[in-house]
Structure 1
Amino acid sequence: MLETYGDHWVLAIGGALIGLLFGFSAQRSKFCARAAVIECCEGEWRQRFAGWMLAFASAVLVVQFAISLGFLKPETSRQLGSLGSISGSVLGGLMFGMGMIMTRGCASRLIILSANGNLRAWISGLVFAVTVQATISGALAPIRQNIASWWLIDGGADRNFLNYFGVSSWAGLLIGFVFLGVAVWRFRETSGSAKPMIWENIFVGLAIAAGWLFTQWVASASFEPVAVQGLSFSGPSAEWLTRVLYTETAPKFAFDAGLLPSVFVGSLIASVFFGEFKFEGFQTENKLGHYLSGAILMGFGGVLAGGCTVGAGMSGGVVFSNTAWLTLISIIAGAAMTYKFLKIIGAPT
Structure 2
Amino acid sequence: MIVLGIICGLMLGFVLQRGRFCVVGAYRDLILAKDGRMFLATFVVIAIQSIGVYALNGTGVIQFGNDGFPWLGTIVGGFIFGIGMVFAGGCATGTWYRAGEGMIGSWIALFGYMLGAAMTKYGVWKVAGDQLLSYRTSDTYIHETLNVSPWLLVIVVAVLVGILVMRELRKPKLPIFQMKPKKKGIAHLLFEKRWHPFVTALLVGLIAIIAWPLSAMTGRMFGLGITAPSANILTFLITGDDALIDWGMFLVLGIFLGAFIAAKGSGEFRWRLPDMKTIRNNAFGGIVMGFGASVAGGCTIGNGLVNSALFAWQGWIAIIFFLLGTWVATYFTIIRKQRQTVGTSKAA
Q: Note the 1:226-265 alignment, pairs <5 A.
A: 226-247=219-240, 249-251=241-243, 253-265=245-257
**In the alignment, structure 1 residue 310 sits paired with structure 2 residue 301:** yes
Greater shift in the superposed pair: 45-54 or 268-277: 45-54
**In the alignment, structure 1 residue 203 sits paired with structure 2 residue 203:** yes
Q: What's the CA shift for 1:39?
A: 1.5
Distance 1:188 1:61, change over 3 A: farther
Match of 2:341 in 1: none
Structure 1: distance between partners of 2:10 and 2:321: 29
Q: What's the CA shift for 1:140?
A: 1.1
- Structure 1 counterpart of 2:140, which letter? R
**In the alignment, structure 1 residue 177 sits paired with structure 2 residue 167:** no
Match of 1:107 in 2: 92
Structure 2: distance between partners of 1:343 and 1:55: 28
- Give secondary structure in 2 for the equivalent of 1:229: coil
Q: Which runs of 5+ in 2 are unaligned?
A: 179-193, 339-348
Match of 1:270 in 2: 262
Q: What's the CA shift for 1:168?
A: 1.2
Q: Is the 8 A contact 2:21 2:197 kept in 1?
A: no
Structure 2: distance between partners of 1:273 and 1:294: 30
**In the alignment, structure 1 residue 131 sits paired with structure 2 residue 112:** no
Distance 1:108 1:166, change over 3 A: same
Q: Is the 8 A contact 2:11 2:207 kept in 1?
A: yes
Q: Is the 8 A contact 1:65 1:173 kept in 2?
A: no
- Give secondary structure in 2 for the equivalent of 1:328: helix
1:42-68 CA distance string (max 9 Å, x none): 362344224323223222222233334
**In the alignment, structure 1 residue 97 sits paired with structure 2 residue 90:** no
1:178-208 CA distance string (max 9 Å, x none): 2233234334443224565543321111111
Match of 2:182 in 1: none
Greater shift in the superposed pair: 168-177 or 180-189: 180-189
1:77-132 CA distance string (max 9 Å, x none): xxxx2254111000000000000111110111000000000000001100110111
RMSD of Structure 2 on Structure 1 (CA): 2.2
1:313-333 CA distance string (max 9 Å, x none): 111111111112111211111
- Give secondary structure in 1 for the equivalent of 2:276: coil
Structure 1: distance between partners of 2:94 and 2:195: 21
Hey, which bits of structure 1, 4+ residues long, moved more than 6 A? Answer: none
Q: What's the CA shift for 1:293?
A: 1.8
Structure 1: distance between partners of 2:170 and 2:100: 31
Which of 11, 15, 31 does residue 21 from structure 1 map onto? 11
- Structure 1 counterpart of 2:137, which letter? I
Q: Is the 8 A contact 1:67 1:169 kept in 2?
A: no
Q: Is the 8 A contact 1:53 1:180 kept in 2?
A: no
Q: What's the CA shift for 1:141?
A: 1.2
Distance 1:310 1:131, change over 3 A: same
Aligned residues, how many?
320
**In the alignment, structure 1 residue 73 sits paired with structure 2 residue 63:** yes
Structure 2: distance between partners of 1:123 and 1:327: 25
- Give secondary structure in 2 for the equivalent of 1:152: coil
Match of 1:288 in 2: 279
Structure 2: distance between partners of 1:152 and 1:138: 22
Match of 1:319 in 2: 310
Q: Which runs of 5+ in 1 are unaligned?
A: 1-9, 220-225
Structure 2: distance between partners of 1:183 and 1:296: 35
Q: Is the 8 A contact 1:58 1:176 kept in 2?
A: yes
- Give secondary structure in 2 for the equivalent of 1:206: helix
- Structure 1 counterpart of 2:47, which letter? A
Greater shift in the superposed pair: 198-207 or 127-136: 198-207
Match of 2:190 in 1: none
Structure 2: distance between partners of 1:116 and 1:287: 17
Q: Is the 8 A contact 2:42 2:305 kept in 1?
A: no
TM-score, normalization by structure 1: 0.85
Q: What's the CA shift for 1:228?
A: 1.0
